């Protein structure tokens, strides 16, 4: 008698959207490499030699998750981990040739998949879609990591 309509719950919609994407990714892009794995490869193409924590920050993965993702990519020979000689706490990450080739191949397929995924929306709507989602996600992240106050707090 007091049930709610889940279609008006952003969290439920977000989950469904991600599931839909997962499905399409699996059929149109790759069954081996997942979307978060591709995000890591992409980050290391842009900035080779990053350390693990920073990569996690770039793609939005927590320290434990990024460690697992990187370990999988390492096992598949797509990247190398080397201790930073300057700072023995971190590992520096770099794609192998195989990793570069994989990234290139998947970039093409991902572009095709994005077209199919967004096909129900007009070009304007697609921009709106990006904008609205980004604003909501950014704001919620902001609640987590409050911006630096202008004056330091004691």
Partner DNA sequence: AGGTATTGTTCAGTGCACCGATGAATTCGA
Partner DNA sequence: TCGAATTCATCGGTGCACTGAACAATACCT
Buried b vs exposed e over 16-55: b needs ≥16 C-beta within 10 Å? eeeeeeeeebeeebbeebbbebbbbbbbbeeeeebbbeeb
Q: Does residue 2 bind a copy of itself (CB under 8 A)?
A: yes
Q: Does residue 32 bind a copy of itself (CB under 8 A)?
A: no
Q: How far apart are the two ends of the chain, measured CA to CA in Å? A: 51
Task: Select the span of 49-57, 69-77, 78-86, 139-147 touching a copy of itself (CB under 8 A).
Answer: 139-147
Contacted entry of DNA, a copy of itself, none for residue 80, CB cut-off 5 to 8 Å set by kind: none
Q: Are 2 and 16 in contact (CB under 8 A)?
A: no
Residue 83 pairs with which residues in a beta bridge? 91
Q: Are 44 and 99 in contact (CB under 8 A)?
A: yes
Give CA–CA dist 144/62, Å, rounded: 13
Contacted entry of a copy of itself, DNA, none for residue 67, CB cut-off 5 to 8 Å set by kind: DNA
Q: Does residue 20 bind a copy of itself (CB under 8 A)?
A: yes
Q: Does residue 82 bind a copy of itself (CB under 8 A)?
A: no
The count of other CB atoms within 10 Å of the CB of residue 81 is: 15
Contacted entry of a copy of itself, DNA, none for residue 6, CB cut-off 5 to 8 Å set by kind: a copy of itself
* 67 or 118: CB nearest a copy of itself: 118
Q: Does residue 42 bind a copy of itself (CB under 8 A)?
A: yes
Binding residues for a copy of itself, per CB under 8 A? 1-4, 6-25, 35-36, 39, 42-43, 45-46, 59-60, 103-104, 107, 110, 114, 116-121, 125, 128-130, 132-141, 143-144
């Amino acid at each position: 008698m007091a049930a709610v309509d889940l279609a008006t719950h952003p969290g439920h919609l977000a989950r469904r959207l991600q599931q839909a994407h997962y499905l399409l990714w699996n059929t149109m892009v790759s069954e081996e490499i997942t979307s978060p794995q591709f995000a890591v490869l992409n980050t290391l193409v842009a900035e080779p030699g990053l350390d693990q924590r920073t990569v996690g920050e770039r793609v939005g993965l927590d320290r434990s998750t990024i460690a697992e993702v990187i370990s999988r990519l390492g096992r598949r020979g797509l990247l190398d981990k080397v201790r930073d000689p300057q700072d023995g706490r971190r590992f520096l990450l770099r794609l192998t040739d195989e990793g570069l080739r994989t990234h290139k191949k998947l970039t093409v397929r991902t572009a095709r998949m994005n077209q199919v995924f967004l096909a129900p929306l007009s070009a304007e709507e697609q921009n709106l879609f990006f904008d609205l989602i980004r604003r909501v996600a950014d704001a919620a992240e902001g609640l987590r990591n409050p911006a630096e106050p202008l004056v330091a707090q004691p």
